[in-house]
A = this chain, B = another copy of it.
Amino acid sequence: MGGSSFGTLFRVTTFGESHGKGVGCVVDGIPPRLPISKEEIQAELDRRRPGQSRITTPRKESDTCEIYSGWADGETLGTPMCIMVPNTDQKSQDYSEMSLAYRPSHADAVYDMKYGIRAVAGGGRSSARETIGRVAAGAIAKKLLHIVAGVEILAYVNRVRDVDCEVDNETFTLEDVEANDVRCPDQEAAKAMYKAIDEVRLRGDSCGGEVTCVVRNCPKGVGAPVFDKLEAELAKALMSLPATKGIEIGSGFSGSKMLGSEHNDEFYMTPDGEVRTRTNRSGGIQGGLANGETIVAKLAFKPTSTISRKQKTVSRDGEDTDLVARGRHDPCVVPRAVPMVEAMVALVLADQLLQHYAQCELLPRKGACSPDTRAASQFQHIIASTPSIRTPATV
């Protein structure tokens, strides 16, 4: 497939190199009549844009998107949406040395190994600029999920190097996340994180960290046994982001140290007849399917591989050499990774929701306390209260 497409029904294909004409995406399978504005897409792109603060790359890009197709007058047409963002602040000359020598732990060498050819200026497809297409597509997915089922997707930085934080996953808000440059809703911890990043930046070094993503109000039953389990889809989506080294769902690695009697989430009935769990070590997913609790995923990012300290490496023509990388790079990727993480989670859920809806909600469900009552409300109460959906032309 080439590897640049994601999803089955809600399907995004990204394109573009970091130092070519631009980057973007085509999204096919978007439900028609979805109200979404160019501003809503741009708002997400602005969150991942470089140059937001001292702790992100100084590359200057406005990252202004153009909706090329599939959209008119504030609504989707149901046809492919192509969204493009031109590259404007390319400084290919920065990469003259790196075109000759492989940056350690960077994709330079493996691209030559795989393709036998490479866009030598910048990272090409391995650049984080590629994620612009993901974030734009994710903005559409987010809107769909919100309108159809009230789904809320929020990510934040929960660790930078060894600086941790305390956050209540059930209650923090987007405003809490966006209140600081690090994107950590624990404002005190955010300051320490900022300092940690700035410190390695000044030394020409880089550091890693963790991003947590939560999903609230995910419709029950989303996900598909056995290979397309929700945790498997999330793992693929998130581990396809640059610089990721690990992922946990719910209790994660620490959960693997517990006993079953400690780890199991007991069920109970709510007064209005809903099945819920008292704890959430499962992280909102059981048997590969959303169980209605808050989904919690945690993602580990390695330190940025491009650093301005001298490193030993080899050249493209096979000689041992030293490299002092130039170019403009984030000293720590996690602050800008937050919108990317949300986007990938949204892409997974939009696709899985459509698949679930097609397979499991076409035939009726029955019974007084039956799932169909809730299934209906899962999908429809939000729609009912969305007056912004204009009246389409009649047939």
Contacts and interface: CB of A to CB of B under 8 A. Distances in A.
Q: Pick the most buried of A3, A17, A147: most chain B CB atoms within 10 A of its CB.
A: A3
A34 interface: yes
Interface in A194-213: 200, 205-210
A263 B303 contact: yes
Interface in A364-378: 364-372, 374
B80 A4 contact: yes
B21 A290 contact: no
A240 interface: yes
Contacts of A75: 117
Contacts of A318: 269, 273, 275, 369, 394-395
A182 interface: no
Given A2-B30, A26-B15, A354 B358 contact: yes
B393 A364 contact: no
A58 interface: no
Contacts of A357: 357-358, 362
B359 A15 contact: no
Contacts of A262: 303
A309 B259 CA distance: 12
B253 A78 contact: no
A232 interface: yes
Given A226-B125, A264-B104, A289-B110, A249 B245 contact: yes
A39 interface: no
- How many copies of the shown chain assemble into the complex? 4
Q: Classify chain A: how many residues form its interface, as a range.
A: 35 or more
B110 A290 contact: yes
B369 A118 contact: no
A88 interface: no
A208 to B, nearest CB: 4
Interface in A231-246: 231-240, 244-246
A42 interface: no
A226 B131 CA distance: 9
A261 interface: yes
Contacts of A354: 358-359, 362
Contact of A78 (B21, B269, B359, B372): B359
A120 to B, nearest CB: 8
Interface stretch (A46-54, A65-73, A167-175): A65-73
Interface in A201-230: 205-210, 220-229
Q: Pick the most buried of A250, A262, A267, A273: most chain B CB atoms within 10 A of its CB.
A: A267
A259 B205 contact: yes
Contacts of A115: 32-33, 77-78, 221, 360
A95 interface: no
B116 A301 contact: no
A3 to B, nearest CB: 3
9 contacts: A14-B226, A16-B80, A78-B115, A102-B275, A105-B264, A106-B287, A110-B289, A264-B305, A366-B391
The 3 closest A-B pairs by CB, nearest first: A107-B287, A3-B224, A2-B28
Given A32-B360, A110-B288, A275-B314, 18 more contacts: A4-B226, A4-B227, A17-B70, A22-B68, A32-B117, A32-B363, A79-B124, A79-B225, A104-B277, A105-B264, A148-B363, A234-B239, A235-B239, A245-B252, A253-B300, A256-B303, A275-B395, A364-B383
